[in-house]
């Protein structure tokens, strides 16, 4: 934990380079025991970063943060920990450290994100309330950004209906922004939580919000866009979610309302599925309760590549599997898995299902 935090403080070392360092060196601690000349041989590591690592100048700040975490009983989740959000771990630009306070399981079976405009209308708020009420019995974790508008409407509805909800923050856990959401944030911790990649004393600066949005998009199964302007932040989150191979859904709205234009455009350009209620979402994600059918015995006389065989063997063990779980259980890159699944589909062996799920035919 200590050296992971230190690594996030090195200028010029983002999540991608940090993971490269971990891969080359074997552990976070070993990174800080290497010489500058050794570090410079690692792709992506320049002289400034190498000298910043060997100087150990960041350790005083790490000591300060460790004291804060202990005092506030905050969990530090590193990229290699089992309780780090596994869906997020599959995203190439995922952070290597998260700070978390709460009791929700970040790897629970079903997770959705609900996002939208800060300038929500009664229409959008009513959608949030109805949607949350209708998923009350489905054991779903709801993630949003604790912002004004749709975000806080979703969080409030979850607290009211005793549904676990996690707010992802664009600042450290020593503060709440907006300040007016402080009381609601406290309630969320009792049945949900607050999550951030930012250390204490980090302000909610403008550049932090897209980073926050990528965490929301990466740690979920599906993103629900309720209301947003055509170029709103929720559209950015939807674009990120799609790039992470997540399902994106949107509620349509009045064509004359500027805060419905984003949702309507996502639907019109086939970047989001049109949904009108919770039942639509559950059906698209195949989360409806269906009778489990007995597995069929399959005999195939097909020559697989080694990668195709790995995927086929795993699919034999399960009735169906989501892309996130498949990625976490097969030692292949997401792009390699996608390519092999496509080949298996062409051969008539695998069928793709709604909700980014797959099964053997």
CB 116 within 8 Å of CB 228: yes
Half-sphere exposure of 174 (CA within 13 A, CB side): 14
Establish if 318 belongs to a structural domain: yes
Q: What tens digit of pLDDT does each residue of 300-350 get?
A: 556 788 888 888 888 888 878 888 788 878 878 777 888 888 888 878 888
Residues forming beta bridges with residue 115, ordered by sequence position: 225
Q: Is 91 inside any structural domain?
A: no
The pLDDT value given to residue 290: 56
Q: Is residue 195 part of a domain?
A: yes
Average pLDDT of adjacent 10-residue blocks, the chain of 361 residues: 95 90 92 92 89 92 97 96 93 95 96 97 97 96 98 98 98 97 97 97 96 97 96 94 94 95 96 96 86 46 80 83 81 80 83 80 81
d(CA 65, CA 60): 9
Tokens of 48: 């400034």
* Last residue within a domain, chosen from 27, 53, 70: 70
Asked if the structure places residue 88 within a domain, the reply is no
Q: Edge-to-edge strands of the sheet including 273-274? A: 75-78, 97-102, 192-196, 165-168, 141-144, 111-115, 222-225, 247-250, 273-274
20 token code pair:
């490269």
- Residue 228: name the closest of 199, 203, 262, 205 by CA: 262
Shared-domain flag, residues 200 and 139: yes
Confidence (pTM): 0.82
> What is the CATH number for 312?
1.10.10.10
User: Cα–Cα–Cα angle for 277, 280, 281, nearest 5°?
Assistant: 95
Q: Do 218 and 256 belong together in one domain?
A: yes
Q: How many CA atoms lie within 13 A of 64 on its CB side?
A: 10
- Residue 359 in 3-state DSSP? strand
Which residues have CB under 8 Å from 280's CB, separation 6+? 249, 273, 274
Distance of CA 345 to the CA centre of its chain: 27
Kindly list the distances between the CA atom of residue 27 and the CA atoms of 20, 34, 78, 107, in Å, as whole numbers in the listed order. Answer: 11, 11, 12, 24
Domain span at 209: 101-284
Structural domain count, the chain: 3
User: Does residue 193 contact residue 101 with C-beta atoms inside 8 Å?
Assistant: yes
Q: Is residue 82 part of a domain?
A: no
Q: Does residue 311 lie within any of the structural domains?
A: yes
* CATH number of the domain enclosing 172: 3.40.50.450
Residue 30 CA to residue 70 CA, distance in Å, equals 24
SS3 78: strand
Residue pair 109/139 in contact by the 8 Å Cβ criterion:
yes
| C-alpha–C-alpha distance, residues 224 and 134, integer Å | 14
Is the same domain home to 66 and 110? no
Sorted by sequence, the CB contacts under 8 Å of residue 61 that are 6+ apart come out as: 9, 199
Tell me what pLDDT residue 126 has: 97
Angstrom distance (rounded) from CA 337 to CA 344: 10
Residues 135 and 42 in one domain: no
Task: Determine how many CB atoms are found less than 10 A away from the CB of residue 49.
Answer: 20
Whether residue 77 lies inside any domain: the answer is no
Give yes or no: residues 39 and 106 share one domain.
no
Q: Is residue 83 part of a domain?
A: no
Neighbour tally for 82: CB within 10 Å: 7
């Amino acid at each position: 934990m200590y050296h992971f935090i230190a690594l996030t403080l090195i200028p010029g070392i983002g999540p991608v380079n940090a993971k490269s360092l971990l891969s080359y060196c074997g552990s976070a601690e070993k990174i800080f025991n290497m010489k500058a000349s050794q570090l410079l041989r690692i792709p992506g590591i320049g002289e400034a970063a190498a000298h910043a690592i060997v100087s150990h100048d960041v350790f005083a700040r790490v000591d300060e943060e460790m004291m804060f975490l202990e005092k506030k009983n905050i969990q530090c989740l590193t990229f290699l920990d089992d309780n780090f959000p596994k869906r997020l771990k599959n995203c190439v630009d995922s952070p290597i450290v998260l700070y978390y306070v709460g009791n929700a399981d970040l790897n629970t079976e079903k997770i959705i994100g609900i996002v939208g405009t800060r300038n929500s209308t009664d229409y959008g708020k009513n959608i949030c309330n109805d949607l949350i009420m209708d998923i009350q019995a489905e054991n779903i974790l709801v993630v949003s950004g604790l912002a004004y508008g749709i975000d806080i409407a979703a969080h409030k509805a979850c607290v009211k209906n005793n549904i676990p909800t996690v707010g992802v923050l664009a600042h450290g856990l020593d503060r709440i922004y907006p300040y007016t959401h402080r009381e609601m944030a406290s309630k969320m911790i009792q049945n949900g939580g607050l999550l951030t990649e930012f250390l204490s004393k980090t302000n909610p600066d403008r550049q932090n919000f897209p980073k926050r949005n990528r965490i929301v998009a990466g740690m979920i199964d599906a993103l629900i866009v309720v209301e947003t302007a055509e170029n709103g932040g929720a559209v950015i989150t939807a674009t990120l979610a799609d790039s992470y191979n997540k399902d994106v859904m949107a509620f349509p709205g009045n064509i004359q309302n500027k805060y419905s234009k984003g949702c309507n455009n996502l639907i019109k350009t086939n970047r989001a599925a049109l949904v009108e209620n919770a039942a639509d979402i559950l059906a698209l994600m195949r989360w409806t309760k269906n009778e489990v059918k007995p597995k069929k015995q399959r005999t195939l006389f097909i020559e697989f590549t080694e990668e195709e065989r790995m995927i086929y063997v795993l699919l034999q063990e399960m009735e169906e599997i989501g892309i996130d779980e498949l990625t976490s259980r097969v030692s292949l890159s997401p792009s390699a898995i996608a390519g092999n699944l496509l080949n298996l589909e062409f051969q008539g062996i695998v069928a793709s299902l709604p909700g980014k799920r797959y099964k053997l035919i």
